[in-house]
Amino acid sequence: MANLAKIAHNRLAFPPMLRSVFAALILASSCAFAQELFDQPAPFSAWLDFNVLGRANATAPALPIWFESCQSDTHPATLTSPPKTVFRFRLRRMPSLHRDVLLRLYFDDLPDMNPVVTAWTETGRERFRSTPLGTGVGLPSQESVIIPVDDTDYIDVEIPGDGTNVRGAFVTSLKTAETRQPYDFNALPLLSDPFGKLPELKLPTDDLRIYGRVRAAIDNQIMRLDPRGDNSGEWTFELSAQPLAAVFSFEILNADLTAPPLVSVNGGAAVAASIHWPDLADPGYRGESRALEPGMRFQYTGWLRAQVAVPGFQLPSGMNKFSVTLSDESGSIAIRNVELQIKQNWKHFDYVLTPVKP
């Protein structure tokens, strides 16, 4: 504080001319950091709000040049099929622009309400059909499909029932870009995500070791955690020796932006999991306004990668326990694809010896 006071006193002691020059320099410096706000262009992408599109006389959204129109139809039940809702997107054929499009569907993943995406020619020839999307976990989710648009005239999103479990869709044109990847390691994902979302965590079928790292799958099943029910999940695993360090990875559905789950190892102190959050422009973020809370909460309606690092001494040889618990403010979530990486000594292990705590 004394130094700041001295600097202020010295400024006041400047001659009038120098004080004016000094003030001008400060003003110019502050103006240099000022930035104007511009809308980021996205001419080949669109967000389709199904809640709006389903209304009578709904205003047509702004669409990319390759996207002609969108409409919705309801189909009542028949003797052979249950009722369904179909959102139809008509396309313009533009082979010089693209050959594929990305459609990411945002929906409540309810049992027996799985959407299906198909693509067709005008003559009724099917060009593409997705598997039923979702797992029926009962939480808000999303799924992406890459659809070939060569000789495609329209895309259908077919939903059982009245379609109210589907929020909307993000669609964007795709281009092919050349890249490079190492021969010996994980292949790059098929898609460069528009919002920086990490690809799905693929668990190895066998334990894998390289450069002193052992990677092992713990569980690939889905476990749901609820604040008014089972609010924690637990997994046990066995280690043949104590590692030097460890990293647990898993995927989380419907994560709260400011209330990540708490992770504990062998009953130790709980720490917040570190979640890789996509760009806030992603329509996967959904707001929640709670009574008596001053601000709005946000959950991400999709699967995200989470990690936590653990010192090796917390994992002795023998049986160990890994647990994930909801934080006090979190709503329901689901966990899947739990994986463990451990660091072991190896012939080229490198370390430094620090005699005192840094």
CA distance 48 to 278: 19
Environment class of residue 234 by beta-carbon count within 10 Å: exposed (0-12), middle (13-18) or buried (19+)? exposed
User: Given the structure tokens 């990847």, which residue do they identify?
Assistant: 181
Calculate the alpha carbon distances from 21 to 4, 12, 13, 94, 286 in Å: 21, 13, 14, 59, 50
To which residue do tokens 């995500």 refer? 193
Thinking of the domain 208-343, which architecture would CATH place it in? Sandwich (2.60)
Residue with the two structure tokens 């259908």: 156
Domain 45-174 identical in fold to domain 208-343:
yes
The values of phi and psi at residue 228, to 5°, are -105, 15
Dist. CA 142–CA 157, nearest whole Å = 13
Ordered by start, the domain boundaries in the chain are 45-174, 208-343
- The rounded distance, in Å, linking the Cα atoms of 65 and 88 is 17
**Which overall architecture, per CATH, does domain 45-174 show?**
Sandwich (2.60)
The whole model's pTM is what? 0.86
The encoded tokens of residue 18 equal 């120098």
Nearest one of 307, 287, 289 to 298, comparing CA atoms? 287
Q: How far apart are CA 303 and CA 137, in angstroms?
A: 12
Cα dihedral 154, 157, 163, 168 sign = negative
> pLDDT tens track of the chain, all 358 residues?
444 333 333 444 445 545 555 555 555 555 556 789 999 999 999 999 988 776 767 677 789 999 999 888 888 888 888 899 999 999 999 999 999 999 999 999 999 999 999 999 999 999 999 999 999 999 999 999 999 999 999 999 999 998 899 999 999 999 999 888 899 987 788 899 999 999 999 999 999 999 999 999 999 999 999 999 899 999 999 999 999 999 999 999 999 999 999 999 999 999 999 999 999 999 999 999 988 888 999 999 999 999 999 999 999 999 999 999 999 999 999 999 999 999 999 999 999 998 888 7
195, two tokens: 């919002």
pLDDT at 2: 40
